[in-house]
Structure 1
Amino acid sequence: MGNNPFHGILPKSLGNLSTSVEHFEADHCGIKGIILNEIGNLSNLIKLDIGSNELTEIIPDTLCQLRKLQRLTLGVNKLWGQYPSIFAMWYISYNSMTSTIPSTLWNNEEIHILSLAHTLLNGSLVPEIGNIKSIRRLYLSGNRFSSDIPSTIGQLQNLENLTLSNNRLHGPIPESFGNMISLKILDLSKNKLNGVIPSSMEKLEYLEYFNVSFNELIGEIPNEGPFKNFTPDIFIGNRELCGASQFKVKTCEDNTTRISNKTRVSKYILPSILIVIILAITMIYLMRCYSGKTLLPALTTSPITIKKISYYEVLDATKKFGEENSIGKGNVGSV
């Protein structure tokens, strides 16, 4: 009955339909009102599609009675409230659920496609997400998830499409992403992810689309495997990324430059700093001794007094600071 301008409500008599009904589709019909409890009587439903209507209020728990349901579409309505704690949903995108995902959802072994995009869900992505191993498409974009991405997500080796964009996810991209060997689409854009892009992802030979723009990633962009075909726009908004010129980011500092810098520091800069420190300590010590008219520590039992020496005497004694009397040179001058 989809795509017809009914613009009415679902009648309660809907629950009186034969229990042999397996498919009920009434999407894009302008249906108002609520989702009826009576739908739970259709115990043999395999597919229920009442998406893209004007349904309001909460999702009734009676839908949990539909044990044979394989596909549910409730997306693009005006539903709100708590997520049913024991029901494994599929398409409820573009609603206002404003709650967390119950951990029991991830124990459902029958789900192949799950769309919870743009439903204002919050909380964390829990490690149990790795249990839903049959999943092929997982849409969680446009919510308020604020946690790390659990490394257990790498156990989803059948997953082909994963969208986590437009959330508040932070922490690194798990190294285990390289284990999702079936992945074709991965969107992590517009989060707060940091750290590097794991080089393990170079093994994802089927990865066609990848987006990490507008995060806080750093380090070198991998350039093997699927990364050879990626364009610069999927990396923008990460100030500290570097890599090949094709990505239009700054060039990474190579090993030769790092070794050169390390050699320069150890050979020139550190000795100069050491000389300056020694001179400073010596000058402070002498000034304290002179200003207080104290005695230098005796090398013998007889005290040795400080003698005031003029600049001209020093000039004469060093033969006008001649090279033969030079101890060494630093950044601030000769000694």
Structure 2
Amino acid sequence: MLKALKLSANKLTSSSVSSILSNLTQLEIIDLSDNPLYEMPPELFELSSLQRINLQQTQLYGPIPKSFSNLVNLKYLKLASNNLSGPIIQKRTFSNLVNLEYLSLASNNFTGPIEIDALYNLVNLTSLDLSSNNFGTTLDVKFLSRLKSLRILDLSFSSLTLINEDNITLPMISIVSLRLGSCNISDLDILRSIVVQRDVHLPNNKIHGQLPEWIWSKWSNVIELDLSNNFLTHIGNKIPLQRLIGLELRSNLLNGQLPILPQSITSLDLSDNQFHGEIKPSICELELYVLLDLSNNSLNGALPHCIGMMGLQVLDLHMNNLQGNIPNTFPMNSGLMSLNLRGNRFEGEVPHSLSNCSNLKFLDLSENNLNDTFPIWLGNLPNLRVLSLKSNKLYGPISFPPHASADAFSHVQILDLSYNQLNGSLPFSLFRRLRQMMSVDETILGYFGDEYPIYEVNDYHDSMAMVLNGNIMQLERIQSSRTGIDLSSNHFEGEIPSSIGGLIAIQQLNLSQNNFTGQLPPQIGNLSNLHSLDLSSNQLDGHIPDKFAALGFLAVMNLSYNHLTGPIPSGTQLQSFSNASYMGNDGLCGFPLSKSCGNHESPQHGFPDEEDDREFFDGFTWQSVVVGYCVGICIGLVIGSLMFFIEKPKWLIRIVQEEAYRMILKYKARNGIRLT
């Protein structure tokens, strides 16, 4: 007599499920989602009373069994996120399912044309999701006029091209949710007959020019509108959708002043366009409390003081031409989680009211003209994970007052203070406070921003510019597990604190272009997850610690332009780096340098430097060796004949001998062969 059976998120296989299904003749609901079934239990199709089936994410493969036609009472069928393939909808499979209301076949491997006629018997179908497949075909919008009960349609990202082949005017169709992302739509007029009641998602299409006027009436009740990644140039001076909550027009060609927006809007993304002019104080009259992203435009002028009091969770204005002071108006118990003002012309101090933003996780004020001491009080923000203040005019030392909390900066995992004027010694306690970098958590997945409660229409993630493996990279998404410290291009001095050896989870470390003295801390050898290490252009001396050989993940290392001495540890990864990693350290020796660590050094005699030699040797291939060998024999025969008949040219012999001797010494030094 069992009516409902829910066994989702276990480790059941098809055979184990089969053994319990045969007697459940009254079963109406079955949920086996998130189990490794691999195939559908045959007994499932004998349960004619079934009304709801959920087999999402069960690793199913192959075509949809035609046995589904036996389940005439079925109302709900979810087969999304599997490996199903072949033709997606066939008459023999769905012709009898006249009671079906919900059908989701999203995120599979279906290909080929859609037999849309097979759907016409589904007169009660209200929701159809075929997104994220690989059909590679066209689909005529006229099919919508036959599915009179349909209210939710998602065909996004399925290699479909939506057309109106006969260019006919369809009868009015009412849809609650319309999702047609990446359907190669170039003209919105093919959707002119569709009245949408709730949300329209049309990202990644080819819509160009100006938005047609009819959408303001046909979509007047829409609360979410996504037209991102298109080629729109104009949207008008006003968006008259009075119920609109979420608007995304990111990555278009929109220009002019910011449009007048409905007061109801709470989430707005107009980034990556060509808007210019000022951000007017009237923006604070909106109900914006989720997201305001106006980044990568040409906006200028000062920020309205009220913008800090809007109650936003995410404020992103990076890469504009904004200037003046950052408003010091962030209120107590602010809900702000992410603030990105990178790449503007803000000046003055870091606003102290940010100390009220206890939820702040991401703070990027880099590439501005801020003139302040290091804001040590930011360490009191209990959730701060990313702090970037690089390329400003910060000055003075980093010093913790006696009353500073031991938990200051304890959650920070990316710290970038590079290209400032900070000085003094690094406090020993700085690295001991960065506890987030002291243990490796392999369970951390996803990207910064995944946890923000953003509306679906706004797929927002934190972004920043970082030096990775020696190159400046623009990270549009930052992995939640990323860690790094960049204090380069300042005036820090004194020894590098040995406490740095406790940051075993750190991946990037850059202390270059400072005035650090003393020896390389051997504790750096404990940083087993380090990918990039740059200590160049300092005043460091002494030997390279043997413990550096334990840095097995190190892909980039730069110790150049210091005063290091002694041998480069042999037989380790340290010898795999180029000469550029060690240049400017006259006391270093051993491979890959040409300078031997034996009792004798390679003679120089004014010959070309070692780098030229590397280029000389690197150019050899076996073809060039053979050609050179043959040419050498011919020249040798000629010279030998001349020498036989005339007096031996001693000057020529001496040059050849010296050049050969020099090349042999270079080869031995490079390969660690003892000189004799």
TM more than 0.5: yes
Aligned equivalent of 2:539 = 192
Please say if 1:13 is aligned against 2:306: yes
* AA matched with 2:298: P
Aligned equivalent of 1:61 = 352
**Offset of residue 41 of structure 1:** 5.2
Whole-angstrom CA distance in 1 between matches of 2:417 and 2:530? 19
Aligned equivalent of 1:134 = 436
**Offset of residue 58 of structure 1:** 1.1
Identify if the C-alpha distance between structure 1 residues 130 and 81 changes in structure 2 by more than 3 Å, giving closer, same or farther. closer
**Conserved? CA contact 2:534–2:557, under 8 Å:** yes
Aligned with residue 252 of structure 1, among 587, 597, 604 = 597
**Offset of residue 249 of structure 1:** 3.7
Aligned equivalent of 1:114 = 415
| Equivalent runs, 1:11-160 vs 2, <5 Å | 11-17=304-310, 19=311, 21-40=312-331, 43-88=334-379, 90-103=387-400, 104=404, 107-131=408-432, 132-135=434-437, 136-160=483-507
SS in 2 for 1:128: helix
**Conserved? CA contact 2:542–2:565, under 8 Å:** yes
Please say if 1:220 is aligned against 2:567: yes
Identify if the C-alpha distance between structure 1 residues 229 and 53 changes in structure 2 by more than 3 Å, giving closer, same or farther. same
Whole-angstrom CA distance in 2 between matches of 1:74 and 1:213? 30
| Equivalent runs, 1:317-328 vs 2, <5 Å | none
Aligned equivalent of 1:4 = 297
**Conserved? CA contact 2:309–2:331, under 8 Å:** no
Cα deviation 1:185-234 (Å, max 9, x = unaligned): 00000000000111101011101111010000000111333213211111
Identify if the C-alpha distance between structure 1 residues 41 and 53 changes in structure 2 by more than 3 Å, giving closer, same or farther. farther
**Offset of residue 248 of structure 1:** 2.3
Whole-angstrom CA distance in 1 between matches of 2:568 and 2:496? 19
SS in 2 for 1:186: strand
SS in 1 for 2:501: helix
Moved more, 226-235 or 106-115: 106-115
| Equivalent runs, 1:175-186 vs 2, <5 Å | 175-186=522-533
* AA matched with 1:212: L
Whole-angstrom CA distance in 2 between matches of 1:216 and 1:231? 18
**Offset of residue 108 of structure 1:** 1.8
**Offset of residue 150 of structure 1:** 1.0
* AA matched with 1:253: G
TM-score, length basis structure 1: 0.72
Whole-angstrom CA distance in 1 between matches of 2:509 and 2:336? 28
Q: Number of matched residues? A: 251
Aligned with residue 234 of structure 1, among 581, 603, 614 = 581
Structure 1 runs, 4 residues or longer, greater than 4 Å off:
none
**Conserved? CA contact 1:15–1:41, under 8 Å:** no
Cα deviation 1:19-58 (Å, max 9, x = unaligned): 3x21110001100100111135571111100010000111
**Offset of residue 251 of structure 1:** 0.5
Whole-angstrom CA distance in 2 between matches of 1:107 and 1:15? 24
Aligned equivalent of 2:553 = 206
* AA matched with 1:25: D
**Offset of residue 85 of structure 1:** 2.7
SS in 2 for 1:31: strand
Whole-angstrom CA distance in 1 between matches of 2:495 and 2:373? 23
Unaligned runs of 5+ in 2: 1-293, 380-385, 438-482, 601-676
From the two aligned structures, give the one with the greater helix fraction: 1
Greater CA radius of gyration, 1 or 2? 1
SS in 2 for 1:13: helix
* AA matched with 1:76: E
Aligned with residue 162 of structure 1, among 480, 487, 509 = 509
**Offset of residue 235 of structure 1:** 0.3
**Conserved? CA contact 1:204–1:225, under 8 Å:** no
Cα deviation 1:161-200 (Å, max 9, x = unaligned): 0000000000000111111111110000000000011110
RMSD over aligned CA atoms reads 1.8
* AA matched with 1:98: Y
SS in 2 for 1:146: strand
Whole-angstrom CA distance in 2 between matches of 1:172 and 1:75? 31
**Offset of residue 6 of structure 1:** 1.1
Q: Higher relative contact order at CA 8 Å, sep ≥6: structure 1 or structure 2?
A: 1
From the two aligned structures, give the one with the greater strand fraction: 2
**Conserved? CA contact 2:566–2:588, under 8 Å:** yes
Moved more, 219-228 or 112-121: 219-228
Whole-angstrom CA distance in 2 between matches of 1:42 and 1:54? 28
**Conserved? CA contact 1:167–1:191, under 8 Å:** yes
